[in-house]
Structure 1
């Protein structure tokens, strides 16, 4: 029996013709919904707690190249104007996601955040005789974000290599304790900084031994390390540092170093260009981590073992060794963030003084989509939210202090709930590799 050729049906592709594959991308509406909720909450706040009067925005200081006068505007008018703009941007976001099937771009979310902040500050500062210092707001935000940014950079390096580092909080806390102890003994903040980096590396090494070598669940190891370090530092603080506070818990701090000319730029000059060496180092480390991950052979190997370790092993990359090196480097970076508490901010160690900054750093990693620059920006955002509490208390804003304490964590929840859109971490993150 011979096979007979059968003509294809009209409109059907020829047997040898290439088949066109189309990818349908699902666009989530979570971001527009969150924008709508934030707009509604601010409008509800303005209605429920009417706060009349003018608000005074101070945009500079007497040390700037030229002094910008204090801007006095009616608080309720500015606040309600901000709500209108936020509502318009929310409508644009809904149109983009529903009608055009596009993700909400940054040119919608960034102006939304800026306008919302100005509207909230206008409501909070209305009627207060004191100035709302924008320079002070930026400077305080940078100071509070330093440990978060360093922790987030360490988290990005670790997860890009395939290791989930839940122990960032432990690295920050042990680094703060070690820098206080060593800095007090040597009377040198530089020695304290180096000791803090070694403490971060020590925690990373313990994490690596259990998570990489013995293939223990990485999340469980990170949680255990957090609890362990809290217990150790609390015990040593009460038994060692408190009885010998003058000798072992009085750390010299890094002085502020102003950059000539740049520190006199209005608004941002005193906040950005009159800082300590640890702050300047943060910008250098952020750029170095980005360059290392995306422009060097080392970065290519790190990302390879984080995405597809078996394929990386096939081409000769030593997966576990690469993960160890990346994790130890991440520990050193996180250690700098822990040193900030003692050699820059306070000058002495306090029990559990990191106060959950390591967990916020983890949220910054997700918020930043595992990218160093975005994670650093997320850290700055969380530091800005934390600093709002002190600024509003200065102007006597009618906002309960408990609510302001919740604000950084609320922003964290909004971030991981989808405000930044779809986030996908490295494919092999959290998966131990065993060579067959």
Structure 2
């Protein structure tokens, strides 16, 4: 058991409603118990709903000790805490107490929830706290496996079961928890310290059989990591960081989904393997291909149908992340945080961005158009820029036909 002074504080956040469905009550109980079972302490907002049932679950753990359940209250009154809170911390800050809660914790587990949970997730993201979501309702279903911005290299972790929660909590014990030093602009200060030769040497040692008698060739270098080719194999080495290593569970799940769909000849994403050691590495067989420049609607429709079959979505569709293989199929090659498990909401979002990639990928306002579709139904900015003579209605009709064609192949 971890020494008392070293035990991690896990924030459990979610709906404060006092009329939760039975399934949510039971999930909150089980999550709270597992937090303490894992050797951590539980910290929450101290009130009702998910907070109360998680606190009650913590008390049910065989490892529970008095003081393991902490509540950060929005009011000045300790007496407003739910009956399972051991240590009540009144703040008098109202909803601003969410920032105190996120500052105090080491990681966050979100169970369903609404706008309050969303604010906590956003604060935890800015404060560099690992975030996991579990359940089948609420805001986090729209954020599954996403990066909220470019200030971090990991994703919001998707947990399909309590067993995956146990693995998430176990990984937290193996990482270094640095003190938060203030909000920085997206992408600022994230320069990798590894040299290319260091990464090549790691691949040589870890994949000696695959790399024997071959030399490494650099294919690309980005914010997540470096891509090499070595003989018949492509390797993507992720830069070493505490957050990136949490991608292992996420990418392993995506890899399993792609391999489960292996009965189809065409895989829209290379069927990759995931390796976790000193570095996180994905690898897949090299294939003949040429760059994709946009257009080619039938190829994109076929790609989206294949993604639907595989149960995988993308949060960032753009032409430069695709290659066209020898059979004329589109293949997404930027394996990393943009890949996520399937959901209807994310599939529709992916189709919108894919539509824009087909018709407007060379337009100077392409990024603005894609950003607009994240929060709006239509494509109004498309009609606001020079070089486009389509009305908003015409663009919507064009997308409607595109989306219907995609869906016909998914039924």
State the TM-score bracket (shorter-chain normalisation). under 0.3
TM-score (norm 2): 0.24
Larger RCO, structures 1/2 (Cα 8 Å, 6+ apart): 1
TM-score (norm 1): 0.23
Higher strand share: 2
